[in-house]
Amino acid sequence: MTSPAVSSGTTFSNMNQTLLVELLTEELPPKALARLGEAFAAGITAGLQARGILDTGATATAYATPRRLAVSITQVRAVAPDKTLREKVLPVTVALDATGNPTPPLLKKLAALAAATGVASIDPAQLERAADGKAESLFYSYTASGTGLQAALQAALEESIGKLPIPKVMSYQRPDGATVQFVRPVHQVIALHGADIVDLRVLGLQAGRTTLGHRFLSKGAITIAHAEQYGEVLEAQGQVVPGVVARREKIRAALLAQAGADTVLMPEALLDEVTALVEWPVVYACSFEEQFLAVPQECLILTMQTNQKYFALTDAAGRLRSRFLVVSNLATDDPRHIIEGNERVVRPRLSDAKFFYEQDQKKTLEARLPGLQSVVYHNKLGTQRERTARVVRLAGAIARALGQDAPAIALAERGALLAKTDLITDMVGEFPELQGIMGTYYARHDGEPAEVALAASEHYQPRYAGDALPGSATGTTVALADKLETLVGIWGIGLQPTGDKDPFALRRHALGILRMLVEKRLPLSLPHLLAEAAAVFAGNAAFKSPETDALAFLYDRLRGLLRERGYAPHEIEAVVAPQPDTLDNLVERLDAVRAFAALPESGALAAANKRITNILKKAEAVPATVDTAVLGAKGAPQEQALHAAMLDCAPAIDRAFAAADFQAALTRLAGLRAGVDLFFEQVMVNADDLQLRENRLALLAQLHRMMNRVADISKLAS
């Protein structure tokens, strides 16, 4: 038996309707707008979903403009469905006395339940007696009416507002004197369920059905008659494109149309920011004087994008045009004032860039070297000048390890010497994003060799996942030296990555090192590189060599890099677990392992290899070579046959290995499977005869070395 339904609250004329909620605000922070809009919509949707207000198939659409956050949700009920609830009352031993009559605690509990569920009383006979673990308890089942939309939306809206990712909360006073906190002052609230206003109050405002359109292109209040008409009415009457995605794509299309045959430079971050600055986007073409094109185009592009939010244009060859595009929030038949105003605004910025460029060229990069002494790199590692000296030494060591000639070594050291000098130029001081790029321009101006100039920008590569590697030999050498010095130096003063914290981007530096070694096939020893890097810090009392830990870190990063490239975990472990000294033929080893794993003999050989590994680990001493006299006199036919098969295939494996044909080397091992199987089936390795036992261990050790020259194939065993 169930109790009467609890009151459901407010009802509406239609059960399932579209719901609209809008907060009309003052200008919201553009960089946070899209995130705020998504969070606002998601929070309200989740809150209504949790309260059973959303019907099956309900969909939410988020809206966000500089002056509003809104969400439209379809299939919203007026009242949530009733729920059957079952609540534990008390254990039987507490609820009933020895004669089975209700105890005072039970009667008190039932009175409280009756008040909570809105019924006059609850008869103890209505209770269900059921097992509760090892004991028994009394349970009360009742039907609770679903929450009404008004109460559900009030709670969901307040929850969503409280959880918004607001960069900085603003406190302001309403006209009635009440203090309100939100990202920006809110002036009006819409809450509509179909054509009906939902009676709620939030941020000191009563919900209604009116809003405002574009600040300049629209006049007076706009009435939203029905929730489903919101986007259409706002665009037609208010001159507002409320959807972030729709507005961004409208801007993108307009930019492309205005660009014509030129290419418009529109990084997504800039496009997103401009989208958050306008409600009715219109694109206009502007221009600047040709004389500014004498300045490196990266400087002009950056100043237009960063300071003015303009979109630069390039021709088919990638050269900057003196024409640029602006996204305005005003549509007009005569845009001359808008165009002239933007051209007037950009001119001083371009003049500054031109001035910085011309001033910087009056002093060579080499002449700036002493200035690096005043730039602190890290208080435990000294200045940028001291760091430069370390990178120069390390770059020279890497060039020599690569077998480069004296002129190439000199280029590497010169490139490392000048690589950071543009940090103290006026242009990089104004635009830090141009470090390296300006170094290349200034080095060319100074008459430095082409590779030295390129190294100034290339030594930062790769800057991020997927970025291009340095293109020149000098740039590669300096990039390796720079990243190794950072990795080893920062780790050596105890600032290695921990958890998700990596303030010095050592993971990124490690991946850069690995990518250069693997993709450029550099025959450089990883342990040797780390030792060379540690050596340049000799004499620094704060530095403790991290070579062992850094090496393990690099191999771990290598595993992640290879997983991203589609290699299976067992393939990666087979190649990486032995900690290969060099990575120049890593890809060939991986491909060979993959091909070997596909052979029918691979499983058995991998299992045998794993067994051999375990046997050798337990052995106290293993002779270096097989004693053929003992093998011939005492050996079983199976071990003699295996040894003969090993001798037979060894020359072919040696030739394949020398030619870096690792697939052929591993494939040749497949011919040993029958002999290996027979050996383990019929030969006792730990024989009582010490001489025989040691000889069999030597045979297995020789087989183990032969099997694992390319990779540790035991890792392929399931």
The pLDDT of residue 495 is above 70? yes
The pLDDT of residue 436 is above 80? yes
User: Do residues 66 and 33 lie in contact, with contact meaning Cβ atoms separated by under 8 Å?
Assistant: yes
Q: Which of 3-17, 283-297, 356-370 has the lowest mean pLDDT?
A: 3-17
Rounded to whole angstroms, the Cα distance separating 10 from 78 reads 8
Average pLDDT of the residues in 467-488? 97
Average pLDDT of the residues in 599-626? 90
The predicted pLDDT at position 8 comes to: 33
Place of tokens 């990124």: 508
CA 89 to each of CA 4, 114, 133, 306, 695: distance values in angstroms, whole numbers, following the listed order: 18, 12, 15, 65, 77
The pLDDT of residue 9 is above 60? no
**pTM, full prediction:** 0.80
DSSP character at residue 479: H
The predicted pLDDT at position 64 comes to: 97
The pLDDT of residue 538 is above 60? yes
Sorted by where each begins, the domain ranges of the chain are: 16-80+148-238, 83-144, 244-360, 379-421+443-566, 586-716
For 133-189, write each residue's pLDDT tens digit: 888 999 998 877 788 999 999 999 999 999 999 999 999 998 888 899 999 999 999
Axis-axis angle for helices 149-162, 30-50 (nearest 10): 140
For 81-104, write each residue's pLDDT tens digit: 888 888 899 999 999 998 889 999
pLDDT category at 126 given cuts 50, 70, 90 is confident
Helices in 402-472 by DSSP H: which ranges? 406-418, 426-430, 437-445, 450-458
User: Do residues 711 and 578 lie in contact, with contact meaning Cβ atoms separated by under 8 Å?
Assistant: yes
pLDDT category at 120 given cuts 50, 70, 90 is confident
CA 588 to each of CA 375, 419, 570, 656: distance values in angstroms, whole numbers, following the listed order: 44, 34, 16, 12
Torsion of the alpha carbons at 587, 593, 599 and 603, rounded to the nearest 10: -160
Residue type, 75: Q
Q: Which of 335-339, 553-557, 599-603 has the lowest mean pLDDT?
A: 599-603
DSSP character at residue 306: I
The dihedrals phi and psi of 335, each to the nearest 5 degrees, come to -85, 15
Beta strands in 279-413 (DSSP E): 282-287, 311-314, 320-328, 376-378, 382-383
Count the Cβ atoms, other than its own, within 10 Å of residue 444. Answer: 15
Average pLDDT of the residues in 413-427? 97
The predicted pLDDT at position 515 comes to: 97
The predicted pLDDT at position 11 comes to: 43
Q: Is 91 helix (H, G, I), strand (E, B) or coil?
A: strand
pLDDT category at 485 given cuts 50, 70, 90 is very high
Task: Report the mean per-residue pLDDT for the chain.
Answer: 93
Nearest 5 degrees, angle CA 626-CA 632-CA 638? 85
Q: Which of 251-260, 268-277, 477-486, 651-660 has the lowest mean pLDDT?
A: 651-660
Which 3-state string (H, E, C) describes 562-624? Answer: HHHCCCCHHHHHHHHCCCCCCCCCHHHHHHHHHHHHCCCCHHHHHHHHHHHHHHHHHCCCCCC
Contacts of 267 (CB under 8 A, 6+ apart): 305
The predicted pLDDT at position 6 comes to: 29
Helix (H) or strand (E) holding 222: strand 221-223
For 370-400, write each residue's pLDDT tens digit: 999 999 999 999 999 999 999 999 999 999 9
Rounded to whole angstroms, the Cα distance separating 130 from 91 reads 10
**ω before 462 within 30° of 0 (cis)?**
yes
Closest to 571 measured CA to CA, from 367, 713, 419 = 713
Rounded to whole angstroms, the Cα distance separating 189 from 622 reads 83
Average pLDDT of the residues in 543-553? 97
The predicted pLDDT at position 365 comes to: 98
Rounded to whole angstroms, the Cα distance separating 164 from 16 reads 28
User: What value does the CA radius of gyration of the chain take, rounded to a whole number of Å?
Assistant: 37
Q: Is the dihedral of CA 378, 384, 390, 394 positive or negative?
A: positive
Rounded to whole angstroms, the Cα distance separating 475 from 454 reads 6
Average pLDDT of the residues in 289-304? 96
The predicted pLDDT at position 143 comes to: 79
pLDDT category at 5 given cuts 50, 70, 90 is very low
Q: Is the dihedral of CA 35, 38, 44, 48 positive or negative?
A: negative
The predicted pLDDT at position 702 comes to: 93
CA 487 to each of CA 120, 335, 475, 502, 509: distance values in angstroms, whole numbers, following the listed order: 74, 54, 18, 11, 7
Rounded to whole angstroms, the Cα distance separating 215 from 279 reads 9
